[in-house]
Amino acid sequence: MSLRAAVTEAKRIVVKVGSSSISGANAGQIEPLVDALAAAHARGAEVVLVSSGAIATGMPYLQLDARPSDLATQQAAAAVGQNILIYRYQESLRRYGVVAGQVLLTAGDLENATPRSNAQRAMERLLGLRILPIVNENDTVATHEIRFGDNDRLAALVSELIDAELLVLLSDVDALYTRPPQLPGARRIEHVPFDDDLAGVELGDIGAAGVGTGGAGTKIAAAKLAAASGTAVLLTSTAQVAEALAGEPVGTWFEPAATSR
């Protein structure tokens, strides 16, 4: 099987999108993102969306021009923004007759046996009912993930939790490059073997400043974590999500560890 054929044949897919891709001026990207998710859902795949964006979406409703620096205001913005974010996704999914299910987790939930088992059972049931789970960090009560890395690690942990075959990490940049893509000599990395430590890669940020918290380093760490559990990872831009889920040769492919799957 070719690398990208593995995309279209994947039965269980996690897609992670960052705050800067679906909030503020980019809120209009929700509809084409949903188009791509619905197409994968329609071909029979079980699809989970891990979406950041609660704080960024809530900011205008609190008359905030920039991401708040204090934890209490971040939590307040998340409480307002999460409600609006899920509404926007469900309104877009309605065009396809797909129902979303909101799942709020913390990374700690997936690292401790009892809440992990509860989360796994709920996710399996949602997928069995053909619901499209939309997962986000529970920013209103969590203190760690707000400072952590834009849900990249959470997406990898969710992929491991549900034994996903594919994790698609979306950002504002179309792939991983040998150095920040705006710099001279930057080359796109198409394929990362499982044992490649990417030692020669010069990292820069992925994502719009002041909205999200992720960067290339968190994307790579999440990709490596998911790949170690046997999940293939594709890193690309939100603008190319339709092409990515259709198996076209975009982005950077992280080869998974060999498993018995």
53/250 Cα distance (integer angstroms): 24
Environment class of 24 (CB within 10 Å of its CB; exposed 0-12, middle 13-18, buried 19+)? middle
DSSP state of 147: G
Cα(first)–Cα(last) distance of the chain, in Å? Answer: 14
Q: Return all residues near 215 (Cβ < 8 A) that are at least 6 apart.
A: 149, 203, 204, 205, 206, 207
Is 52 annotated to bind ligand? yes
Q: Residue 126 is encoded by which pair of tokens?
A: 């949602």
139 labelled as ligand-binding? yes
Q: Is 171 labelled as part of a ligand binding site?
A: yes
The annotation status of 172 as a binding-site residue, yes or no, is yes
3-state secondary structure of 84: helix
Going by their DSSP bridges, the two strands 176-177 and 232-237 should be labelled as: unpaired
Binding site members:
16, 52, 139, 151, 171-172
Binding residues for substrate, as ranges, are: 52, 139, 151
Annotated binding site for ATP: 16, 171-172
